[in-house]
């Protein structure tokens, strides 16, 4: 047995001030206290080792409150350096900066994963189980709000409204979208101008200004098919739940969810009803292309209409914060991805 296998010091049996002269031995994988003048071995389980602090005698803590104290710091270091398997893996890892860094990065990755995948998945699930009555109520209250704040009554003729409604009904039928039932509403867009909005409960609002901007019905049909895609994919509901989840997550991390929840939900209620993430846009574009091809209409036409909206608003789509435009991808990318989708469907048909 080498000298670094034995430490000489004081043994505090119950963590109190009374001690016995003793030695700490390690035999194989185990630690034992051997009291002076005795051959009895007391098996002890290492809990932790105090940090080295000048000449202060080192304390070695065992499970069950007993402590061994040794004033030979070098000997203590040598004892544990040679026998570092006494430390459980975690105890050793916790002590190292490397572990702390790894743990922090892992936590961030977990949180990011939760944000990136967990939250959308939870939001999709919540959207799928939201009762029809709830989305209907959301639609009617949102409609009331936008009618009060943004829109006024349509100036489109009854005949024109009927024409567009017929096109809309056909697109809905091709989409196979029945729940929630879809309805097309016409409004003077007012401040919002040329625009189209899909509410979670199946209400689509088309503004007079968008109708005026379109050169043909295929352009409008493409936008309507896109909006139907938003309802079918429950995009605004998922967005709303995601905002709820975000607020909750921020609250958990920050430790106070009260005010944040209120702020974010207040923002989300207004913003997320109108804005969708780009992934949702792409999904709805694909939906539009599929439905338009089935309807025998030009699937690219709606991108032409979007170009005209941008010109009409004189807004850079990358730097705007006005409703529909802000949330929709840049039109150059969009045209390319819509064309790719058209090519793909045509290739599949052959």
Whole-angstrom CA distances from 302 to 135, 176, 224, 225 are: 27, 21, 9, 9
Distance CA(237)–CA(264), nearest Å, equals 15
Residue range at the interface with Zn ion (CB under 5 A); choices 9-17, 74-82, 205-213, 276-284: 276-284
Tell me which stretch binds Zn ion (CB under 5 A): 41-49, 88-96, 278-286, 287-295.
Answer: 278-286
Shortest Cβ distance from residue 191 to Zn ion (Å)? 19
Nearer to Zn ion, 46 or 325 (CB): 325
Site string for Zn ion, 183-202 (x = CB under 5 A): --------------------
Q: Which is nearer to Zn ion, 211 or 281 (CB)?
A: 281
Stretch that binds Zn ion, among 90-98, 173-181, 262-270, 273-281 (CB under 5 A): 273-281
Query: Between 231 and 270, how does the x/- string for binding to Zn ion read (CB under 5 A)?
Result: ----------------------------------------
CB of 122 to Zn ion, least distance (A): 23
Q: Nearest to residue 197, comparing CAs of 223, 165, 167, 163?
A: 223
Alpha carbons 297 and 316: distance in angstroms, whole number:
29
Question: CB of residue 283 vs Zn ion: minimum separation in angstroms?
Answer: 9
How large is the C-alpha radius of gyration of the chain? 34
User: What dihedral angle (degrees, nearest 10) is formed by the CA atoms of 243, 247, 248, 254?
Assistant: 160
150/198 with CB nearer Zn ion: 198
Between 91 and 320, CB nearer to Zn ion: 320
Q: Which CB, 70 or 213, lies closer to Zn ion? A: 213
Minimal distance in Å, beta carbon 310 to Zn ion? 14
Output the smallest distance, CB 281 to Zn ion, in A: 5
Minimum separation from the CB atom of position 275 to Zn ion (A): 9
Number of residues that bind Zn ion (CB under 5 A): 1
Q: Per CB under 5 A, which of residues 119..148 are in contact with Zn ion?
A: none
- In the bound state with Zn ion, the residue whose beta carbon lies nearer, of 95 and 120, is 120
Minimum CB distance to Zn ion smaller for 226 or for 297: 226
Strand partners, 70: 58
Local structure of 289: helix, strand or coil:
helix
Nearer residue to Zn ion within complex by CB, 68 or 280? 280
Minimal distance, residue 328 CB to Zn ion, in Å: 6
Name the segment binding Zn ion (CB under 5 A); options: 127-135, 162-170, 183-191, 277-285. 277-285
Nearer to Zn ion, 23 or 281 (CB): 281
| Cα–Cα distance, 254 to 207 (Å, whole number) | 42
Strand, coil or helix: 349: helix
Candidates 51-59, 102-110, 171-179, 281-289: pick the segment binding Zn ion (CB under 5 A): 281-289
Beta carbon of residue 280, minimum distance to Zn ion (angstroms, whole number): 7
E strand segments, the chain: 6-12, 20-27, 30-35, 41-44, 46-49, 58-62, 67-70, 152-153, 183-188, 196-198, 203-207
Closest residue by Cα to residue 48 from 36, 30, 63, 34: 63
3 state SS of 20? strand
* Structural contact between residues 75 and 57, judged by C-beta atoms closer than 8 angstroms: no
Please name the residue ranges forming H helices in 130-234.
132-149, 158-175, 208-213, 217-232
Residue 268: CB minimum distance to Zn ion, A: 17
241-276 core/surface letters (b: 16 or more CB in 10 A; e: else): bbbbbbbebbbeeeeebeebbeebbeebbebbbbbb
Residues forming contacts to Zn ion in the complex (CB under 5 A) are: 281
């Amino acid at each position: 047995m080498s000298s670094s296998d034995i430490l000489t010091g004081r043994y505090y049996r119950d963590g109190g001030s009374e001690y016995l002269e003793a030695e700490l031995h390690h035999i194989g994988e185990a630690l034992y206290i051997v009291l002076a003048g005795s051959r009895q071995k007391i098996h002890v389980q290492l809990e932790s080792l105090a940090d080295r602090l000048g000449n202060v005698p080192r304390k070695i803590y065992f499970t069950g409150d007993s402590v061994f104290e040794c004033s030979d710091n070098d000997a203590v270091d040598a004892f544990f350096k040679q026998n570092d398997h006494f430390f459980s893996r975690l105890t050793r890892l916790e002590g190292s900066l490397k572990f702390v860094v790894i743990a922090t990065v892992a936590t961030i990755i977990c949180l990011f994963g939760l944000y990136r995948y967990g939250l959308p998945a939870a939001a999709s699930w919540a959207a799928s189980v939201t009762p029809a009555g709830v989305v209907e109520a959301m639609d009617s209250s949102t409609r009331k709000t936008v009618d009060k704040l943004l829109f006024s009554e349509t100036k489109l003729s009854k005949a024109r409204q009927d024409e567009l409604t017929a096109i809309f009904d056909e697109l809905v039928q091709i989409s196979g979208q029945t729940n929630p039932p879809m309805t097309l509403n016409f409004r003077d867009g007012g401040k919002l101008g040329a625009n189209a909005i899909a509410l979670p409960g199946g209400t689509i609002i088309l503004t007079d200004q968008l109708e005026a901007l379109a050169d043909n019905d295929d352009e409008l049909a493409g936008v309507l098919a896109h909006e139907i895609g938003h309802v079918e994919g429950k995009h605004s509901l998922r967005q709303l739940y995601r905002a709820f989840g975000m607020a909750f997550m921020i609250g958990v991390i920050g430790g106070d969810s009260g005010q944040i929840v209120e702020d974010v939900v207040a923002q989300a209620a207004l913003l997320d009803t109108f804005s969708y993430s780009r992934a949702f846009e792409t999904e709805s574009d694909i939906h539009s292309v599929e439905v338009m091809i089935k309807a025998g209409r030009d699937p690219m036409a709606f991108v032409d209409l979007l170009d005209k909206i941008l010109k009409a608003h004189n807004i850079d789509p990358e730097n705007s914060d006005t409703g529909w435009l802000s949330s929709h991808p840049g039109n150059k990318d969009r045209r390319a991805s819509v064309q790719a989708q058209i090519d793909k469907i045509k290739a599949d048909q052959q």
